[in-house]
Amino acid sequence: MTNKLYDALKFVAQILLPALATLYAALAAIWGWGYSEAIVGSISAVDVFLGAILAYASKKYQQGGGE
C-alpha cells in the first residue's frame, strides 16, 4: 500500500465516514427518513473494517514489511 493510498484511506476512515454517518443520522431524525439505523450502522461497520485494515497495514509497515 502506497503512502498516498494509506493517507487517503486514513482520511476516509477518520473524517469522512464518521461525518457522513453523523450527518445522515441527524438529517434522518429531522426529516423522518427511513432505515436510518441500518444506514448509519452500515457506514459505521465499513468504517470499523477500514480502520482494522489500516491498523494492520500500519503495524506491518512499522515492522519493516514495507509496501
Q: Mean pLDDT over all residues of the chain?
A: 94
Determine the Cα–Cα distance for residues 38 and 24; give it in Å rounded to an integer. Answer: 11
The predicted model gives 20-42 an average pLDDT of 98
The predicted model gives 7-20 an average pLDDT of 98
DSSP string over the chain: --HHHHHHHHHIIIIIHHHHHHHHHHHHHHHT-S-HHHHHHHHHHHHHHHHHHHHHHHHHIIIII--
Q: What is the pLDDT of residue 66?
A: 59
pLDDT at 19 over 90: yes
The predicted model gives 31-48 an average pLDDT of 98
Q: What is the pLDDT of residue 67?
A: 56
Prediction pTM value = 0.85
Grid coordinates in use for 66? 514495507
Determine the Cα–Cα distance for residues 42 and 40; give it in Å rounded to an integer. Answer: 5
